[in-house]
Amino acid sequence: EQLLEIKDLHAGVEDKEILKGLSLSVGKGEVHVILGPNGSGKSTLMNIIMGHPKYTVTGGSMTFEGEDMTEMKTFERSRKGLFLSFQTPEEIPGIIVENMLRTAKQAITGEKVKLLPFRKELKATMQELKMDPEYAQRYLNVGFSGGEKKRTEILQLLMLNPKLALLDETDSGLDVDAVQIVSEGVAKFHNEDNSCLIITHNTRILEHLKVDKVHVLMNGQIVEEGGPELIEDINSRGFAHIREEQEG
């Protein structure tokens, strides 16, 4: 059974069509990677899966656990178990990490999350990520280094425990340490009950993961699919030969 199923999706912003008949499915427990040149529509796809209000779906279908989600608001999608990690985490003065996570968890579960057990879980998870527990009481991302922002992102992933994690790491220019944090963190998160859809140019992100499927996105469509060997192929040959095969 597919967790996420997208069929012939047409979508864009204002009058501009960006996704032009895109189809893609992700099964439960699977790790999928999207590769594609700059401007091909990768980030747009992630935003549309999350229901970002700036984008409009004009055709096709999108289901999560078999349920149509094209009309669902972003918070409903979060409640269903979708999570998008931001490419460039925002600094939010006034919002304390612990409160943000607890509020998000309450919103997602629809239940009151008791402070003390939550704090205990948070502390244990931060310990696992080798984070100083002091960060729980700091303003979200304010004055955080790149690596600390990435750790905080992984902390969100582990604490909110979504069914499908959408990770857009494309243009983030991560340094070696940050790549390692993401790579180990996603591996820590992933298990047979959840799925990951990852956009990355940096294949070291995938070091600790078993990739099930790779999709190549070009000009708003998936033009090629394959196993992890496709990553090596594109790393060495680039996207040009796929484009030629498409046109040829």
Q: What does the H/E/C string look like for the chain?
A: CEEEEEEEEEEEECCEEEEEEEEEEEECCCEEEEECCCCCCHHHHHHHHHCCCCCEEEEEEEEECCEECCCCCHHHHHHHCEEEECCCCCCEEEEEHHHHHHHHHHHHHCCCCCHHHHHHHHHHHHHHCCCCHHHHHCEECCCCCHHHHHHHHHHHHHHHCCCEEEEECCCCCCCHHHHHHHHHHHHHHCCCCCEEEEECCCHHHHCCCCCCEEEEEECCEEEEEECCHHHHHHHHHCCHHHHHHHHC
| Cβ distance to ligand ADP smaller for residue 55 or 135 | 55
Picked from Mg ion, ligand ADP, none, the partner binding residue 141 (CB below 5 to 8 A depending on kind) is none
| Helix 229-237 and helix 240-247, axial crossing angle in degrees, nearest 10 | 100
The verdict on 36 binding ligand ADP (CB under 6 A) reads yes
Binding part of the chain for ligand ADP, among 37-45, 61-69, 136-144, 146-154 by CB under 6 A, reads: 37-45
In whole angstroms, the minimum distance from the beta carbon of 165 to ligand ADP comes to: 17
CB atoms within 10 A of CB 193: 9
How many residues bind to ligand ADP according to rule CB under 6 A? 13
Contact 30, 192 (CB under 8 A): no
Question: Under rule CB under 6 A, which residues in 48-87 are in contact with ligand ADP?
Answer: 54
Binding part of the chain for ligand ADP, among 39-47, 68-76, 78-86, 175-183 by CB under 6 A, reads: 39-47
| Cβ distance to ligand ADP smaller for residue 41 or 185 | 41
The verdict on 42 binding ligand ADP (CB under 6 A) reads yes
Q: Which of 13, 50, 96, 231 binds ligand ADP (CB under 6 A)?
A: 13
Q: Which of 4, 22, 41, 108 binds ligand ADP (CB under 6 A)?
A: 41
* Residue window 175-214: x/- pattern of binding to ligand ADP, with contact defined by CB under 6 A: ----------------------------------------
Q: Where along the sequence are the contacts to Mg ion (CB under 5 A)?
A: 8, 21, 42-43, 170
The verdict on 43 binding ligand ADP (CB under 6 A) reads yes
| Cβ distance to Mg ion smaller for residue 10 or 119 | 10
In whole angstroms, the minimum distance from the beta carbon of 133 to Mg ion comes to: 33
Residues that bind ligand ADP (CB under 6 A): 13, 16, 18, 36, 38-44, 54, 170
